Structure 1
Amino acid sequence: MAAGTGRGLAQGLRTVGGEMAGQISADVFERGLLVETCGPQGKVVKLLPPLSVTTGEVDQALEILDASVKSALARLAWAGLTDSPDEQLAATVPISNARKNTCPVTTMSWY
């Protein structure tokens, strides 16, 4: 479904296609988080937090991102554009656990 990419605070969530990245981007925006898509075919969700970001803000952003990914998977599965959300989520590292990873360059988070 997705893989993390980036350096330092600038991180990206690489998805399988631009449709999924666009769905995630729109959904997080509706929930109050600003991201953008980039990369080949617009399939990377780019996260660029400020240097002054707090742990609480990171946790809140990860919750929003996690809910948005699940929502996008459900919508795309309903439309027949992906496998079922459960199959897609089983193949990923949960975004809510990304903060526990010690390597910031390879996680789905941005710190």
Structure 2
Amino acid sequence: MSAIRTPIFFVAGSVDDISGYAPGVRNIYENSVNARRYLLTIENANHNAGAPIPAPEEAWLPVPGLKKVPAETYIDAVWDNTRMNNIAQHFVTAFLGKYLKSDASMDA
């Protein structure tokens, strides 16, 4: 992780049961010590924090061998996906504005 030098923006749910949070995404963030790095943690959100809305149409179709349709992984038990996406969009827009457009007004 210390070899990463490019600015990086992480988005994670604090109760991610797939990638994990700590250990997991938070540890990757903490160990990327030579990069300008940012971590947006969506408290109590699971793995698909801010997943695309709506879930892709194909995700609503049953899959043999699965106990639930894949779209159910897009649904968070605590957060509304639209709200998560709005929050993520706000911070990602600032991050990209800062680093791709060199817009210092995005620092705040």
Q: Which has the higher contact order (CA 8 A, sep 6+)?
A: 1
* The two structures share one fold, judged by TM-score above 0.5: no
More strand by share: 1
TM-score (norm 2): 0.32
